[in-house]
Amino acid sequence: MIHPCSLYSAYSHKSSTMSCLSVSMLCFLLALLTPANLTSATGNIGFSLPLVSSHHKLNHTTGEIGELLLPEGDVNPMNVRPKVAPAGWPMFSVVVGVGSGRGQHFYKLALDFVGNLTWIRCKPCTPEEQQEGPIFDAALSPKYAFVHTTSFYCKPPFIGHHGDKCSFSATTSLAAAHGYLATDLFTFGDTNTGHKRVEGLLFGCAHRADEFWNHGIVVGAMSLNKKFGSDVPNHDHAHSTALMYQDTMLYFIGLEGVSLNGQRLTRINRGMFSRDQARKHGGTIIDVGTPETRMIRAAYDILEAAVVADLQHRLGVRRAGYRVPGSHLCFVVSIHGIYQKLPSITLHLAGGAQLTIKWDLLFVTKMHHGAQHACFLIFPDEKMTVLGAAQQVDTRFTIDVDHRLLYFAPENCGNDSS
């Protein structure tokens, strides 16, 4: 579900190991985008959205889809707890109606937990890419309206242009998209009462989408990364770290070091994770759309060497001398009960917060050439570091935009029905 050019190598193994998480849960506290006309908005939009199979055909007139990816896995925009399923790419999609009158069509949008702006491809859009359903034609939608340069919303990172249009340039978790801000009628499939209509929803109408890795299916991204004021729950038992706005559309956190089994890897330092804004290189983000964690190469090489040494010296397990498909680092495992002895990893974040990832979220069992392997679920990356979905299981993350904080705490999401 993710592919800006600066993140290409981070997302080149999208479907490799998610089947190991099919009975687990991810926890997020997120809010749906607010209508642009705030004076007419009536509080929070608290309806549910069903997760749908991105590979199942959709009726673009009615929004009907024959099969849900998760029969009981509704996505409440105020409280997202989707099951992780072996669904291939993209992991999650929602069906959203965009436009009114003859211009209305229902589309599949990838859930974007990183970018700030919901956007879709609009006619005309280059380069030409296959998608499911027609490209949105704003000229056919009576309720479509450009956001003017004098609007409250036309402020950085958005840019006003002569011609009274406000442009956006979003390197989001799906593509590098460029176009104009607009508002229109959005229709959401509510699993309780049918369709919910929201007028004047702010979105990006993209006329260019580079590195658009949509697999011929989704038409854009629906941002679900906002959490506002009174919606933020009590965090007495949660860790927190600062959100850094060093990019126009991505939230970064400060990763300062890594420990293996409680021992700090001193050769890994915060400078390895720093963000070079000019080169669009480095930094750390959290993204549910990335199946496994990607770590910047300089730090990953040190971590990999430490993991190999630990398993060899402590458990007598050696690295496989060949490549197991879909994995970068694997070990031949022939001893029963060894998995519980595999190492954990702790990520040291800015402000003193620590996120510990247990062994069962770091290794997956694979059979190859008749032998059982334990394969590492962290991969090297040449551009940046991304905490992926596999390592987010049973941790609740809350984004507090007002205070620029990310809260996180362990939680058994499968038993949480609140």
Give the domain ranges of the chain: 31-226, 239-415
Same fold, 31-226 and 239-415: yes
Contact between 34 and 223 (Cβ < 8 Å) = no
Query: Tell me, which fold does domain 31-226 have in CATH?
Result: Cathepsin D, subunit A; domain 1 (2.40.70)
State the first-to-last Cα distance of the chain, in angstroms, to the nearest integer. Answer: 28
Q: Is residue 41 predicted with pLDDT exceeding 90?
A: no
β-sheet with 371-376: strand ranges across? 330-332, 371-376, 363-368
Q: Is residue 280 predicted with pLDDT exceeding 60?
A: yes
Q: Mean pLDDT across the stretch 366-386?
A: 93
Q: Mean pLDDT across the stretch 203-219?
A: 85
61-69, Cβ contacts within 8 angstroms, sequence gap of 24 or more: 61/105, 61/106, 62/106, 63/95, 63/97, 63/106, 63/187, 63/189, 63/195, 65/95, 69/93
The half-sphere exposure of 79 on its side-chain side, counting CA atoms within 13 A, is 9
pLDDT of residue 254: 94
7 vs 196: which has the higher pLDDT: 196
Q: Is residue 304 predicted with pLDDT exceeding 50?
A: yes
Query: Tell me, which fold does domain 239-415 have in CATH?
Result: Cathepsin D, subunit A; domain 1 (2.40.70)
Nearest to 279 by CA among 6, 3, 50, 60: 6
**Residue at 339: amino acid letter:** Y
Residue 301 parent element (H or E): helix 297-315
